[in-house]
Structure 1
Amino acid sequence: MYVNDLVAKGWILQSFGRKVKNWRARIKELYHDPSLSLKEQISSRPKQVQKKQWKKLVKYWNKEKSKLVSEKNKANRAKKKMFQVTGKKSYARVREELKASKGQDPSRLEMFRACFSKDGTTKNLEASNAIAQMQQLSSNLPEGSIDKPGPDDVFSKVMGNDRNGDAVMYGLGVRAADVWGVIPSRSACHRENIQLKSQCEELTSTVVQLRAQVSEMEGSRGGSSVQPLASQHFPNVTNGHQRLRMKFSSKAF
């Protein structure tokens, strides 16, 4: 199986899972009444759902844990203040349309503006404020620079970091690592710096030992033609260690 086949398979499974989830939520909204008795809830089965499956769903919805999750999700949906104006059109379609009109991949700012406003205008206050902030930051970028997608782009500075490894404004199945690669974490950088420092200290110790051996050889040979120590081409690891230490001290952990 080719890589593209694996990517397509992953997207299809995710898309199918989302559609099943949305359909199940719709069925629950239309046919499930928690105020009825369990027997009445089961008897209100829609025709398109099998009896065994409906009974299983009703029992699941009546579990206390399921009720808590449902209430939490309902509260989260109520907090959502920005809504797309593109209807059922996917991010992928919007991106391709913008790419065709602009001749290059759109930034996440351009994607957000296209999906949450009409030509930059929207009645939604939160979306309008977000677009205004992004445009202000974009205007402050150095002339000729490109707002490349990533954790430090204009979109991220206004909307916050991407969560769960997803690449926001890219659509279903697109991961951040697929778009801008893997960004090392602070702890990973810290571990790498410690390892480099340890290696540098080992090299420094080795050079000191070699210099001591050369000095001993010079002393035993007396007036031989061995080049003076200052002219030996040993790597200046000590100075490199100092520069490395300065680099570490300037990095915030």
Structure 2
Amino acid sequence: MSRIKFFKVAYSKKDGRPVNDVVAQALSDMDELVSQMLESSMQSSSTIDEVFTQVMGPERPGHVRTYGLGPSRRDVFGHKKSEEMQAMQSQIDEQLSRHKAEIKAKLLEMEAQ
């Protein structure tokens, strides 16, 4: 569930109306920015979360908006650094295997001469 959907659920009454005018304005702003993103066909979970941050403001250190006092960013979003490291490691592994193949091809070419 995206942070925008979570915000809508948390700050809406049972009939679906926002709890107050401030929440209604924030939801309206979020919907407008999301529709602009859909028109430009740039949609991913990170960009949706960026819309939430644009409307609600930056996070405070150690807290995640709409999740209360308990959870931290790591609890909600996981270890982003390790995911980035895994992606970088897979890129390095691919490059290494390509270089090995190139070296083998050159070695075979040199042996054939």
Q: TM-score under structure 2 normalisation? A: 0.54
Shift of 1:181: 4.1
1:137 is matched with 33
1:148 is matched with 46
Which of residues 73, 81, 104 in structure 2 aligns to 1:176? 73
> More relative contact order in 1 or in 2 (CA 8 Å, sep 6+)?
2
Shift of 1:169: 2.4
2:12 is matched with 117
C-alpha distance in 1 between matches for 2:18 and 2:57? 21
Gap runs ≥5 in structure 1:
1-105, 184-253
Maintained 8 Å contact 2:59/2:65: yes
Change (3 A) 1:149 1:177: farther
C-alpha distance in 2 between matches for 1:123 and 1:163? 24
Shift of 1:141: 1.5
C-alpha distance in 2 between matches for 1:135 and 1:180? 26
Q: CA RMSD in A?
A: 2.8
Q: Compare the two structures and name the one with the higher helix fraction.
A: 2
Maintained 8 Å contact 2:64/2:72: yes
Shift of 1:154: 1.4
- Percent identity between the aligned chains? 32
C-alpha distance in 1 between matches for 2:53 and 2:16? 19
Shift of 1:139: 1.0
Change (3 A) 1:115 1:144: same
Maintained 8 Å contact 2:11/2:19: no
C-alpha distance in 2 between matches for 1:128 and 1:157? 16
Matched, 1:159 2:34: no
Q: Which is greater in Rg?
A: 1
Shift of 1:125: 0.7
SS of 1:140 mapped into structure 2: helix
Change (3 A) 1:180 1:120: farther
Runs of at least 4 residues off by over 6 Å? none
SS of 1:174 mapped into structure 2: coil
Change (3 A) 1:126 1:170: same
